Amino acid sequence: MKTARFLDRQSPPHIVTLVAIAGLSALTMNIFLPALPSMAKDFGVSYGTIQILISGYIAMTALIQLVIGPLSDRFGRRPTVLGSLCLLLVASLVCMLATDIYTLVAARMVQTAVVAGIVLSRAIVRDMVPMEQAASMIGYVTMGMTIVPMIGPTLGGVLGDAFGWRANFAALVLLAAVVLALVWTDLGETNHNRSASFSAQFRAWPGLLASTQFWGYSAVVTFTSGAFFAFLGGAPFVGATLLEMNPSTLGLQFVFIAAGYMMGNFLSGRYARRFGTFIMMLAGTLALILGTLVPMLLLLAGAKSALAFFGPQVIVGFGNGLTLPSANAGVVSVRPHLAGSASGLSGAISMGGGAASSLFASAILSVETGAMPLLLVMLTCGVLALAALLLLRYSDPTDSWRSEER
Domain tally, the chain: 1
Q: Is residue 4 part of a domain?
A: no
Where would I find the H helices in 164-238? 166-186, 198-209, 212-237
**Segment 83-131, tens digit of pLDDT:** 999 999 999 999 999 999 999 999 999 999 998 887 788 778 777 766 5
At residue 370, φ and ψ (nearest 5 deg) are 70, -155
Q: Is residue 157 part of a domain?
A: yes
Query: Which of 214-223, 281-290, 356-365, 378-387 has the weakest average pLDDT?
Result: 356-365
Q: Is residue 8 part of a domain?
A: no
For residue 101, the model assigns a pLDDT of: 93
**Segment 29-68, tens digit of pLDDT:** 888 878 888 888 889 888 778 878 888 887 888 788 778 8
For residue 401, the model assigns a pLDDT of: 47
Domain range spanning residue 281?
15-185+198-405
Using CB atoms within 10 Å of the CB of residue 394, give its burial: 0 to 12 exposed, 13 to 18 middle, 19+ buried. Answer: exposed
Q: Is residue 354 part of a domain?
A: yes
Q: Is residue 38 part of a domain?
A: yes
Q: pLDDT band for position 144 (50/70/90)?
A: low
What pTM was estimated for this model as a whole?
0.70
8 A C-beta contact, residue 195 and residue 74: yes
Q: Is residue 39 part of a domain?
A: yes
First-residue to last-residue Cα distance in the chain: 21
What's the CATH number where 313 sits?
1.20.1250.20
| Alpha carbon 335 to chain centroid, angstroms | 22
